[in-house]
Amino acid sequence: MSALLIRSARLDDSPALAALSEQLGYATSAANVASRLPRYIDASERRVIVAELDGQVIGWTSIEIVDHFYIEIFAEISGFVVDSAHRGQGVGHALMAEAELWTSEMGLAGLRLKTNVVRIEAHRFYEGLGFERTKTQYTYVKKLAPAVGSR
């Protein structure tokens, strides 16, 4: 494998991030990513980390600090994907190592993530990295009509 570069996302990564998001099961457009990505660029409490190989973004993870009043502050991986053609080659390990380093540099002792129960290979991957399953939960969503004049 050529030299893998792990770096923070840039605005011009938007098309690749959108394409990889679709592999994760979240269809979006490059324009949507480009409109949302700036809040991660140079932010102190959140980051999108990309894996680049031969000038192509082949994976990403998003991470941010979560601070609830009732538990210790922690970092959470909110998204993670490696291009299907590059899985099993150490790309995911490199992205997760950078996420762990960032968490440590933020002075935090906890890194969390959530994964769909059907992603059996992902469970094995995370457990192989030392993550421990702590609970099973349901996610509920209620669709609401946005108020006039909102985002």
Ordered by where they begin, the domains of the chain are 4-128 (3.40.630.30)
- The pTM (predicted TM-score) of the whole model is 0.89
Rounded distance, CA 19 to CA 17, Å? Answer: 6
What is the per-residue pLDDT for 85?
96
**Under DSSP, is residue 138 helix (H, G, I), strand (E, B) or coil?**
coil
Higher pLDDT, 15 or 147: 15
Residue with tokens 């290979």: 121
Q: State the SS3 of 73-128.
A: CEEEEEEEEECHHHCCCCHHHHHHHHHHHHHHHCCCCCEEECCCCCCHHHHHHHHH
pLDDT tens by residue, 74-111: 999 999 999 999 999 999 999 999 999 999 999 999 99
To which H or E segment does residue 51 belong? strand 46-53
